[in-house]
Structure 1
Amino acid sequence: MHTEDADDWLGIPTPLETSKQHILLLENEIAELNQQLRAARENIFKLVNMQAQTERDRDEALGRLRERSGEAARLRQQVRDLELLGRAKDRANEDLRKQIQPPARAR
């Protein structure tokens, strides 16, 4: 009895059948990998778009922050100016009070 005859009788696949099965497995694996690759590329594309949008949003926010910073600096200067003006008016009022207040009498 040849081994090939025994293989048929035992249900062992021939080398050709084994190769065909291996080819099918590889084709299925390649198809799955291609599908995963497409999905990964789509995800990368989405991530790149999200990053670009985030950068645009950041740039807009930085622009608004710069505007608000300038506005805050102007307001701080106005507050300092008003405080100085208030102190000057307080001194002028105090001087006027001293001028119109009668001198204290000695007893």
Structure 2
Amino acid sequence: MRLLIEATNHAVKSINQILSKYPQCPALSLASITGAKAVKGLAEEKLEQYQILFGTKPNNASFEATMSRGNTNEWSVSGTIDRTNLYGNQSYCVDDREAKLYCYCAN
């Protein structure tokens, strides 16, 4: 479980890096891990991969991310972090397409 929490926290950190350009979007934190499964990695690269479903707060958002870890033991996002629930008008304060997926406008 610690491994999944570590990987998911890295995914949330990646989202927060995108949001850091927008002061009107507060940082998100991990609310829950709702699902996870191991994905077959590349044996020659000794790559570990997990597909993780998780929720964040304060925006009550649900996301799916594939997280990878190789020999360096550092997590990275494989592909994109996808929002899996509707966000309605939560991101009205930003125009950037990528930020709209993650932003929860504070005002």
TM range (shorter): under 0.3
Q: Larger relative CO (CA 8 A, sep 6+): 1 or 2? A: 2
Point out the structure with the larger helix share.
Answer: 1
After TM superposition, the score normalised by the length of structure 2 is 0.21
Point out the structure with the larger strand share.
Answer: 2
After TM superposition, the score normalised by the length of structure 1 is 0.21
Structure (1 or 2) with the larger CA radius of gyration: 1
